[in-house]
């Protein structure tokens, strides 16, 4: 009888330690998961905006050669997209070179991302170049 109660006491003691350890692991994993989701919510929109801007720059370069756009027309079209996407770039940051056979567009900008405990700065440089076939 005494042996049995000692075994039960040991078993209950071990079970309590294991339960506490499991709770701690669950809390740590939950904190890591929440931090990853929070970071993704803050960072992914900047990459999506950069992708959309890069696509617009390539499209504009293609049409600028065919339609014979001036540098200011190209710059205005790109800047409109920059404003629509909320990208922190100035009109002067858009570098455009238009000639009879070649259009080159580039933009260099950074996006600050506040992750509460760390300030991340993402750097983007979308560019496009298109040559005329004629």
pLDDT tens series, the chain, 134 aa: 556 555 555 555 555 455 557 788 899 999 999 999 999 999 999 999 999 999 999 999 999 888 888 999 999 999 999 999 999 999 999 999 998 889 999 999 999 999 998 999 999 999 999 887 76
* CATH, residue 56: 3.30.1300
For the chain, how many structural domains are there in total? 1
User: Is 110 in contact with 124 (CB distance < 8 Å)?
Assistant: yes
User: Is 39 in contact with 60 (CB distance < 8 Å)?
Assistant: no
SS3 breakdown of the chain: % helix, strand, coil, rounded to 5?
65, 20, 15
pLDDT at 9: 52
Cα distances from 30 to residues 11, 37, 115, 120, 128, in angstroms, run 29, 11, 17, 23, 43
pLDDT at 101: 86
Structure tokens that stand for 24 in this block: 């701690």
pLDDT at 131: 84
pLDDT at 67: 86
pLDDT at 18: 54
pLDDT at 7: 55
- Residue range of the domain that includes 82: 2-131
Find all residues with CB under 8 Å of 131, minimum gap 6, and list them: 65, 101, 102
């Amino acid at each position: 009888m005494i042996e049995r109660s000692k075994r039960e006491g040991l078993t209950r003691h071990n079970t309590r330690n294991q339960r506490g350890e499991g709770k701690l692991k669950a809390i740590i994993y939950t904190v890591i998961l929440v931090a990853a989701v929070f970071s993704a919510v803050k960072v992914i929109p900047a990459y999506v905006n950069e992708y959309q801007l890069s696509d617009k720059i390539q499209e504009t370069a293609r049409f600028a050669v065919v339609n014979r756009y001036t540098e200011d027309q190209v710059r205005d079209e790109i800047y409109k997209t920059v404003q629509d996407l909320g990208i922190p770039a100035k009109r002067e940051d858009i570098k455009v070179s238009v000639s009879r056979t070649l259009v080159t567009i580039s933009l260099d900008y950074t996006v600050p991302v506040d992750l509460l405990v760390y300030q991340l700065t993402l750097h983007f440089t979308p560019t496009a170049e298109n040559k005329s076939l004629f």
